[in-house]
């Protein structure tokens, strides 16, 4: 009798875990952020393409909110972060439909352009670019999702 009760409790717990699991995606996931430039240099007053990739490096499914706008940092030759001078878009609030599910090993990509006109970039200098994905609590999103901050490595590029 005790064996049947233990088995029934175990089955009930496993069933609950399977039903509740989609509601907890993202709480313990691991993300990696990489950026890759499409060229090692750009002309003065030119631009360079950048691919931003978030990868689920954990062993569970997780939900993310893709960034509406990316936070990039350009580091100058003197290791100081340059001031961004471009336009700042107005961002809409996130909704549950904006969530993207990443299975272990899956990635989400975004392509963007780094324009010299948005930064004080000088010819014949080498810079570094880093990105950050930072997601806090969004009041309009009801489902759980990954929250936290992850930085990419710094990728060098030159202005020629």
Q: What is the pLDDT of residues 23-65, one digit of tens each?
A: 556 666 899 999 999 999 999 999 999 999 999 999 999 999 9
114-121 average pLDDT score: 92
Q: Tokens standing for 82? A: 């340059």
> What is the structure's pLDDT at 17?
45
| Cα–Cα distance, 37 to 77 (Å, whole number) | 18
What CATH number has the domain spanning 2-159?
A: 2.60.40.2970
Pick 41 or 4 by higher pLDDT: 41
Q: Give the N- to C-terminal CA distance of the chain in Å, as an integer.
A: 80
Q: Tokens standing for 114? A: 């780094």
Q: What is the pLDDT of residues 57-106, one digit of tens each?
A: 999 999 999 987 778 999 999 999 999 998 888 888 999 999 999 999 99
CB 70 within 8 A of CB 131: yes
- What are the sequence ranges of the domains in the chain? 2-159
- 137 strand-pairing partners: none
> What is the structure's pLDDT at 29?
83
């Amino acid at each position: 009798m005790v064996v049947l009760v233990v088995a029934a409790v175990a089955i009930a717990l496993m069933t609950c875990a399977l039903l509740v699991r989609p509601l907890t995606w993202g709480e313990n996931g691991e993300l990696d952020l990489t950026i890759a430039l499409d060229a090692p240099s750009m002309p003065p007053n030119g631009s360079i393409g950048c691919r931003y990739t978030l990868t689920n490096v954990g062993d569970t499914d997780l939900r993310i909110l893709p960034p509406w706008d990316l936070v990039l940092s350009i580091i100058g030759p003197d290791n100081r972060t340059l001031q961004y001078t471009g336009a700042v878009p107005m961002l809409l609030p996130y909704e549950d439909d904006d969530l993207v599910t990443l299975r272990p090993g899956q990635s989400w990509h975004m392509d963007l352009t780094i324009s010299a006109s948005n930064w004080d970039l000088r010819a014949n200098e080498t810079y570094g670019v880093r990105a950050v994905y930072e997601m806090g609590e969004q009041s309009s999103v009801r489902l759980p999702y990954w929250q936290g901050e992850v930085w990419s490595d710094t990728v060098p590029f030159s202005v020629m």
